[in-house]
A and B are shown apart, each in its own frame.
Chain A
Amino acid sequence: ETGVTQSPTHLIKTRGQQVTLRCSSQSGHNTVSWYQQALGQGPQFIFQYYREEENGRGNFPPRFSGLQFPNYSSELNVNALELDDSALYLCASREGGKEPYNEQFFGPGTRLTVL
């Protein structure tokens, strides 16, 4: 069983550009959540996908968008990058859709730097 993987590990972009980050969920997990972690802060929830549908969103503008594929892997897309988008982006997966709430497993993150 493999854990959550993310690619790329590091990324440098300039303001105004677009970026796509990728996440492979852990085997058997149908729910993927994305978080933004700025330096010195806790992770902030961006959105969540359950069985290819977005079913929860945090306080992030529409230029943050995502996808989940039939194999439950996911992408996070950010358009019109701003300097404040520089952060560690975390992906987490779990088996959703039932109670009790199952543990989320986090990936190692993608470090995005916007210049």
Chain B
Amino acid sequence: AQRVTQPEKLLSVFKGAPVELKCNYSYSGSPELFWYVQYSRQRLQLLLRHISRESIKGFTADLNKGETSFHLKKPFAQEEDSAMYYCALRDKAAGNKLTFGGGTRVLVKP
């Protein structure tokens, strides 16, 4: 069965420091991975998806099939990056359901 693991519950960094959120997955097929973000008092929203291969708000994520990882990175964290981040995997064989990781809370200190 597919599984998404985010090993860090909380990441605390200073403004301007790099931040990396880890995501590992298990899936038997060809994976499609996403990062979702939830800012305080806002709804869950898509941050980026691996097939787009784009940078959103300075964040990038590379799919590494060998290590079954999809880590999210930003070289210089900003205070407005403080939020909950969820990694998710699309299961094409099961109605395109999304399997989410447990989430990582990022706190960027001034």
Interface residues of A (CB under 8 A from B): 4, 33, 35, 40-45, 48, 50, 55-58, 90, 92, 96, 100-101, 103-109
Out of A44, A45, A56, A106, which one reaches B43, CB within 8 Å?
A106
Closest residue of chain A to B6 (Cβ to Cβ) is A42
B86 to A56, Cβ gap below 8 A?
no
* Contact between chains at B45 and A56 (CB < 8 Å): no
* Known contacts A101-B32, A101-B90; A44/B100 CB under 8 A: yes
Query: Are A43 and B44 neighbours in the complex by a CB distance under 8 Å?
Result: yes
Give which listed residue, A4, A33, A42, A100, contacts B97 with CB less than 8 A. Answer: A33
Of the candidates A42, A50, A56, A90, the one whose C-beta lies within 8 Å of that of B94 is: A56
Our pick among B51, B86, B101 for the contact of A100 (Cβ within 8 Å) is: B51
Count of A-B contacts judged by CB separation below 8 Å? 53
Residues of B within 8 A of A45 (CB): 97-99
What chain B residues lie within 8 Å of A57 (beta carbons)? 95
Residues of A within 8 A of B43 (CB): 4, 106-109
The count of chain B contact residues (Cβ–Cβ below 8 Å) is: 22
B93-110 at interface with A (beta carbon < 8 Å): 94-103
Task: Say whether B99 contacts A106, CB under 8 Å.
Answer: no
Q: A10 to chain B: closest CB distance in Å? A: 15
Q: Which residues of B contact A41 (CB under 8 A)?
A: 102-103
Which one of A48, A105, A109 lies within 8 Å of B96 (CB-CB)? A48
Q: Knowing A100-B51, A101-B32, A109-B43, say if A48 contacts B102 (CB, 8 Å).
A: no
Chain B 54-110 interface residues, beta-carbon cutoff 8 Å to A: 86, 88, 90, 94-103
Q: List 19 A-B contacts (CB under 8 A).
A: A33-B97, A33-B98, A42-B4, A42-B86, A42-B102, A43-B44, A43-B98, A44-B100, A45-B97, A48-B96, A55-B95, A92-B44, A100-B51, A101-B32, A101-B90, A101-B96, A104-B46, A104-B98, A106-B43
